[in-house]
């Protein structure tokens, strides 16, 4: 009997690929780049399972190109704004993500961006490498204290909570905004639940952890940036379109806020013109989950889900659970 066929849209850790190979006939995109839409549609044709990336749009057209035998698309990411959930549910295709295993890595990168922006690390590093350093000076690269400042968390999911716990090491005061209050979290870190207006007004550091949904697109725009303190730092390691990048460039240029630390961008991999010319922003290329252990664990979840679904079981981390009822 032939084995199920699984396509992987880009190389993931080789241990994960070996595990897939134990169970299935597999093919992996051999090129280190995102497939074009036409390539993706051609490659998924006839597959029983697909492991996709957040850069692959999985919608009705792609699912139809795969064919009616397709059972699962497993995202190698916790975010799944690249999925059309309804289109998959209508076609009986299970969609999964990789929650939990990247909370620490993402929260650590968030805190890293916060510290790097406050202490002007990227700018200072470049200064030294460019041979401009002439010795200690009392006025060079003056940054901001982080200790005992107010950290605002927008979106209290696993990653937002993790950031708050890490920030306690700096004795930061935590305020947060979310659709729901979480009394246990409030007690654990001494956090205060606030509305968005207060979050913007009172945060010294504002860290974004909302999922990308129609309601959270441009959650931070011109109006919100103007409502923030002039000494505030904005951190985004969630999804780029949560921030209006054009408005952010204007605000950073006009010094309406003090700085920003960004892991994600509105039109990755392009940056809003002018962003990379600014000194008061630290920019990294969407690397929040990029540690050896985390990427391996993300692969384990994705592969585990494919193995379960293609052997007739329910996956561990389904994001369109209605499909399991049919």
List contacts with ligand DGY (CB under 6 A): 54, 77-79, 102, 288-289
77 DSSP assignment: S
Q: Which is nearer to ligand DGY, 69 or 270 (CB)?
A: 270
Q: How far is the CB of 116 from ligand DGY (least distance, A)?
A: 19
Q: Which two tokens stand for residue 80?
A: 């799944």
- The verdict on whether 197 is a catalytic residue reads no
H or E element, residue 17? helix 14-23
Which residue in the list 90, 217, 268, 300 is annotated as catalytic?
268
Q: How far is the CB of 229 from ligand DGY (least distance, A)?
A: 28
Q: How many CB atoms lie within 10 A of CB 71?
A: 20
Which residue in the list 239, 256, 266, 295 is annotated as catalytic?
239
Q: How far is the CB of 31 from ligand DGY (least distance, A)?
A: 20
- The verdict on whether 209 is a catalytic residue reads no
CA distance 109 to 288: 5
The DSSP string of 200-242 is HHH-SEEEE-----GGGTTSB-HHHHHHS-TT-EEEE-S-GGG
- The verdict on whether 217 is a catalytic residue reads no
Angle at 137 between CA 249 and CA 261, to 5 degrees: 25
Q: Could you give phi then psi for residue 150, rounded to 5 degrees?
A: -95, 125
CA distance 74 to 301: 9
Which residue in the list 10, 71, 286, 295 is annotated as catalytic?
286
Q: Which is nearer to ligand DGY, 124 or 296 (CB)?
A: 296
Q: How far is the CB of 79 from ligand DGY (least distance, A)?
A: 3
Q: Which is nearer to ligand DGY, 103 or 204 (CB)?
A: 103
Q: Which is nearer to ligand DGY, 104 or 202 (CB)?
A: 104
- Catalytic positions are 239, 268, 286
């Amino acid at each position: 009997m032939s084995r199920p066929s699984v396509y992987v849209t880009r190389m993931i850790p080789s241990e994960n690929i070996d595990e897939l190979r134990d169970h299935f006939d597999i093919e992996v995109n051999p090129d280190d780049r995102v497939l074009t839409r036409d390539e993706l549609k051609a490659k998924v044709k006839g597959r029983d399972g697909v492991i996709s990336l957040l850069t692959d749009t999985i919608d009705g057209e792609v699912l139809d190109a795969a064919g009616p035998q397709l059972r699962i698309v497993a995202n190698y990411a916790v975010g799944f704004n690249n999925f059309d959930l309804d289109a998959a549910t209508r076609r009986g295709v299970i969609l999964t993500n990789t929650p939990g295993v990247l909370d620490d890595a993402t929260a650590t990168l968030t805190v890293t961006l916060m510290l790097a922006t406050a202490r002007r690390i990227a700018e200072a590093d470049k200064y030294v490498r460019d041979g401009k350093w002439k010795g200690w000076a009392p006025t060079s690269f003056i940054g901001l204290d982080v200790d005992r400042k107010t950290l605002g968390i927008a979106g209290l999911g696993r990653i937002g909570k993790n950031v708050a716990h890490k920030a306690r090491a700096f004795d930061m005061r935590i305020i947060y905004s979310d659709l729901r209050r979480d009394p246990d979290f409030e007690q654990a870190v001494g956090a205060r639940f606030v509305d968005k207006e207060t979050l913007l007004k009172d945060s010294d550091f504002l860290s974004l952890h909302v999922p990308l949904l129609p309601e959270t697109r441009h959650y931070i725009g011109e109006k919100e940036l103007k409502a923030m303190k002039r000494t505030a730092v904005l951190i985004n390691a969630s999804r780029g379109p949560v921030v209006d990048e054009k408005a952010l460039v204007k605000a950073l240029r006009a010094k309406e806020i003090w700085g920003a630390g960004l892991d994600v961008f509105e039109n990755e991999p392009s940056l809003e013109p002018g962003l990379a010319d600014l000194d008061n922003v630290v920019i990294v290329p969407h690397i929040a989950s990029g540690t050896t252990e985390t990427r391996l664990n993300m692969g384990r979840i994705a592969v585990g889900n494919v193995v379960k679904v293609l052997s007739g079981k329910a996956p561990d981390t389904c994001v369109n659970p209605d499909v399991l009822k049919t």
